[in-house]
Amino acid sequence: MALRRPTVVLLDIEGTTTSISFVKDTLFPYARENVEAFLADKANQEAASAAVALLRQQATEDVNEDLEGAVAIPEGHVADSTVLAAAVQNVHWQMSIDRKTTALKSLQGQIWQKAYQDGVIKGHLYDDVEPALRTWKDQGIKIYIYSSGSIKAQKLLFGHSQQGDIKPLLSGYFDTTTGHKREAESYVKIAQAIDTDPATVLFLTDVVQEARAAKAAGMNAVLSVRPGNTELDQAARDEFQTITSFEQLAFAPEQPSVGDTRPAPESEGTQQDAEEANTESTGATKRLRSQ
């Protein structure tokens, strides 16, 4: 079934443009294994101090909410062995339960940056993604990213992908600083930020709860079914169109708005011909009356 042609395509990353296995088997283990060395090496830099401050703030909230396993981070400089150990333990705990807090994502993005820049990691994209993005851009469709990963991490992935730097194909990025991906208000904010009617936005994701949130905000949503993604139940498949490749997305030709009864504008030549015909008809009528 052809979809109404959108003005904007909003893309999830994990399970949509990029394999979940790349995130779980490459990015996450690298961050986990290198977090201590990264913080120790960058201890005297503002970025590391800011990252630990965010972790500490999140940890305080988690402890106050009696979140099981939450690891508090004491006040102090990150170079302090006690602070460093607690920060590392906190990161490992958050990753072990697959949390997607802004504090964690921000630090992970910093750790991955050096790996991407050194060529240790190349961002994975499905083969159908880059050609589809080029086609949509050529059609005048704007493409944005909305991922739980930080904007820094998003830019790194698309800037150091296996297909090269494809950032020029993208119009912008959103992460959890805008809001949680399973809340409709987040999608309302995105539509407002890009000054676009939600009804003209198509959101692609592999998570049905995210699709429902986007739908509640007035957007159209399609579910991505990729290898390794969580299996969709029949209710989700009945509610949303599903695709296994971006190549399967077909957009219907643009149609006039419902209720727009205005005639199509005439070309200059057509309008002139109509006026000449009307003049000839009027003259003929006058001659008949004079006979």
d(CA 189, CA 211): 15
Q: What is the mean pLDDT of residues 197-220?
A: 98
Residue 1 pLDDT grade (very low, low, confident, very high; cuts 50, 70, 90): low
Name the nearest CA neighbour of 206 among 191, 190, 223.
Answer: 223
Which residue did the predictor score with more confidence, 154 or 279?
154
- Judge whether residue 289 has pLDDT over 70: no
pLDDT higher at 262 or 163 = 163
Which DSSP symbol is given to 164? B
Among candidates 88, 83, 65, which has minimal Cα distance to 73? 83
pLDDT band at 254 (very low <50, low <70, confident <90, very high): low
SS3 248: helix
Kindly indicate the confidence band of residue 273, based on its pLDDT and cuts at 50, 70 and 90.
very low
Residues 15/100, Cβ–Cβ less than 8 Å: no
What average pLDDT does this structure show over 98-123?
91
Q: Which residue has the higher pLDDT, 272 or 254?
A: 254
Q: Residue 137 — very low, low, confident or very high, per pLDDT cuts 50/70/90? A: very high
What confidence score (pLDDT) does residue 263 get?
A: 42
Which pair of tokens denotes residue 144? 């944005």
The pLDDT, as a whole number, for residue 3 is 87
Q: Please report which confidence band the pLDDT of residue 150 belongs to, taking 50, 70 and 90 as the band edges.
A: confident
Return the amino acid letter for 67. L
CA gap 199, 159 in Å, rounded: 30
Q: What percent of the chain has pLDDT over 90?
A: 76
Of residues 50, 90, 93, the one with CA closest to residue 74: 90
pLDDT of residue 287: 41
pTM of the model: 0.76
pLDDT confidence band for 255 (50 / 70 / 90)? low
**DSSP H stretches of helix in the chain:** 20-22, 28-41, 46-64, 81-96, 102-117, 129-138, 151-159, 184-193, 208-216, 234-239, 268-290
Residue 88, Ramachandran bin (φ over 0: left; ψ between -120 and 50: alpha; else beta):
alpha
Phi and psi at residue 11, in whole multiples of 5°? Answer: -115, 135
Residue 172, burial from CB neighbour count under 10 angstroms (0-12, 13-18, 19+): middle
Smallest Cα–Cα separation from 121: which of 21, 27, 13?
A: 27
Helices (H), 141-207: 151-159, 184-193
pLDDT for res 48: 87
> Phi and psi for 233 in degrees, rounded to 5?
-80, 170
Q: What's the rounded mean pLDDT across residues 40-51? A: 89
On the CB side of 52, CA atoms within 13 Å amount to: 28
Residue 102's pLDDT band, with cuts at 50, 70 and 90, is confident
CA-angle at 213, arms to 177 and 128, nearest 5°: 85
Closest CA relative to residue 126, chosen from 220, 206, 210: 206
